[in-house]
Amino acid sequence: MDLGLAGKTALVTGGSKGIGSAIGAALAREGVRVALCARTTAEVEQTARRIAEGTGSETLGLTGDVTRREDIERVVEEASHRFGGIDILVSNAGVPGGIGFGPIDRIEDANVMKDVETKFLGTLRAARAVVPHMKRQGWGRIIGIVGLSARYSSRYVGDRNPDGNYNYSGGPRNLAVIHLMRTLSHELGRDGITANAVLPGATRTVDLDAMLGRRSDREGKSLDALRQETSSMNAIGRWVDAEEVADVVTFIASPRSSSISGEVIAASGGAGLGVFI
């Protein structure tokens, strides 16, 4: 299938590493000119260079913090100026799992607010900035990257949570993005713009591999055993790679996905046993 993406332009927030950089690379391989944004300048510029070298597509690495309205507006301005518009927004910036850890009697408002600021308001700000460009051209794709905690209570198995595994902002911030995509889909559908959420489950990235390595040292379990344990609740019985999530996003970003809008598309390997989810 020709996805019809060649010549399109995209902005991927949180594009310097992990799922975001895999999405940037997958789009670039389809001939999309891709701007990546993240807070760490050296890393985002290096990733943009690496993707350009590997794909031959034009890329741009831009410094920006999605919690700051002026940053995201500048990033959109720079990318659209360089590329002559923005066709695709992938709002991916966020800390996997979130930072609003319980237990409930010790949860910090500031951490909850930070998660909401980054993922929900970050997505809303990016959408607000790109929509005028998309409306002008009568075509656009807005994709919010969410996560399993939108569907399940948030028990995060990681090492950023000294006081407990339950997280009270990872899920709500993701649900808020899903709600935003649904509303955008209705407001913008007649302008040729779709808005969808893509929902990864436990996804292999360099950082999450390193986290698993630290857990393996701490708990004296092998890496393989931990991978098995943490993927035991999905249908395919293994972690999904960031590149597999990127493939799904690439299809949703393409003109071929025109009948899909306001939806949540899981790329989780079939996580969970529920039927109506």
Ligand X SMILES: NC(=O)c1ccc[n+]([C@@H]2O[C@H](COP(=O)([O-])OP(=O)(O)OC[C@H]3O[C@@H](n4cnc5c(N)ncnc54)[C@H](OP(=O)(O)O)[C@@H]3O)[C@@H](O)[C@H]2O)c1
Contact residues: ligand X, CB under 6 A: 13-20, 37-40, 43, 64-67, 92-94, 96, 118, 145, 147-148, 200, 202-203, 205, 207-208
Is the CB of 6 or the CB of 42 nearer to ligand X?
42
Is the CB of 97 or the CB of 140 nearer to ligand X?
97
- 104-107, Cβ contacts within 8 angstroms, sequence gap of 24 or more: 104/166, 104/168, 106/163, 107/168
Residues contacting residue 13 through CB under 8 Å, at least 6 positions apart: 20, 37, 38, 64, 66, 72, 75, 89, 90, 91, 92, 93, 122, 126
Q: What is the closest distance, in whole angstroms, from the C-beta atom of residue 13 to ligand X in the complex?
A: 6
Q: What is the closest distance, in whole angstroms, from the C-beta atom of residue 29 to ligand X in the complex?
A: 18
Q: What is the closest distance, in whole angstroms, from the C-beta atom of residue 72 to ligand X in the complex?
A: 8
Q: Residue holding tokens 């034009």? A: 58
C-alpha of 272 from chain center: 20
Task: List C-alpha distances in Å: 37 to 15, 26, 74, 134, 138.
Answer: 6, 16, 11, 19, 24
Q: What is the closest distance, in whole angstroms, from the C-beta atom of residue 66 to ligand X in the complex?
A: 4
C-alpha of 128 from chain center: 17
Is the CB of 137 or the CB of 230 nearer to ligand X?
230
Is the CB of 137 or the CB of 161 nearer to ligand X?
161
Q: What is the closest distance, in whole angstroms, from the C-beta atom of residue 230 to ligand X in the complex?
A: 10
Give the whole-angstrom CA distance, residue 67 versus residue 153. 25
Report the first-to-last Cα separation within the chain, whole angstroms.
29
Is the CB of 15 or the CB of 172 nearer to ligand X?
15
Are 204 and 270 contacting, i.e. CB atoms less than 8 angstroms apart? no
Is the CB of 102 or the CB of 192 nearer to ligand X?
102
∠103-108-113 over CA atoms, to 5°? 125
Report the residue number whose CB is nearest to ligand X: 18
Q: What is the closest distance, in whole angstroms, from the C-beta atom of residue 176 to ligand X in the complex?
A: 13
